[in-house]
Amino acid sequence: MADTRTIVVLIDMDGTLFDFDIKILEAVQRYDSSVNKDNMWTKINENPELKKIKNQTEFANGFFYTLPLIPGAKEAINRMIERGWKVYICSSPSVTSDDCHSSKNRIMKDIFGEELARRLILTKDKTMVRGDVLIDDRSKITGQYEPIWGHICFKNGYERTEETNAVDVLKGWSDDFIGKIEKIVHPNDHNYQE
């Protein structure tokens, strides 16, 4: 018997829908022009001054509202919704930013509309959220529970050195995200329809 339940896709915001790293890169490059996409996180972690600049940038009011959309993100979400999938945005809030919650809600409403903004889940522990798939730029997601969703790591082009617990990798929204989601949800059926 075919599985007819609705697929639930959880998508991270920062680094997956919106380009968090480009704003950080721009800020730290004003201090150190040798920083680039390939070495940014290593240099920030090794240099206290760069870490301070990164934190000041991220914690500034309005930061999350100014993040540019990653190419193909809006179209990808629309394709998932057209397939009848339930899409929820699952993002970690910054507790040191006074307006993180409202900025994330406002940018979701302005870019994706009120319906998707109502599906914004802000949590420090994504393992507590139910869904079939989580698409997130973090390589390893841990928390209180063993995740029930399959993790697809979204590679946004910035150097990351973390170990991973992802079951698949998405190299941008032009990659076959439909096939990767279907493979997780229906591992024995490789005849998905685009």
Q: Which residue has the higher pLDDT, 15 or 164?
A: 15
Range of the domain at 89: 8-19+67-185
14 belongs to the catalytic site: yes
* Closest by Cα among 10, 8, 12 to 155: 12
Q: Is the pLDDT confidence value at 67 over 90? A: yes
Options 12, 19, 132, 168, the catalytic residue: 12
**Cα-based angle 184, 186, 188 (whole degrees, multiple of 5):** 110
Q: What is the mean pLDDT of residues 186-191?
A: 67
Q: What is the mean pLDDT of residues 96-117?
A: 90
Count the domains in the chain.
1
pLDDT tens for residues 157-170? 665 656 667 788 88
12 belongs to the catalytic site: yes
In a domain, 130, yes or no: yes
**Is 0.75 surpassed by the pTM of this model?**
yes
Q: Judge whether 133 and 7 are in contact, CB under 8 Å.
A: yes
In a domain, 55, yes or no: no
| CATH code assigned at 88 | 3.40.50.1000
Options 14, 132, 137, 168, the catalytic residue: 14
- The pLDDT confidence band at residue 105, using thresholds 50, 70 and 90, is very high
Per-residue confidence (pLDDT) for residue 191, from 0 to 100: 56
In a domain, 14, yes or no: yes
Q: Is the pLDDT confidence value at 1 over 50? A: no
Helices (H), 60-119: 73-82, 100-112, 114-117
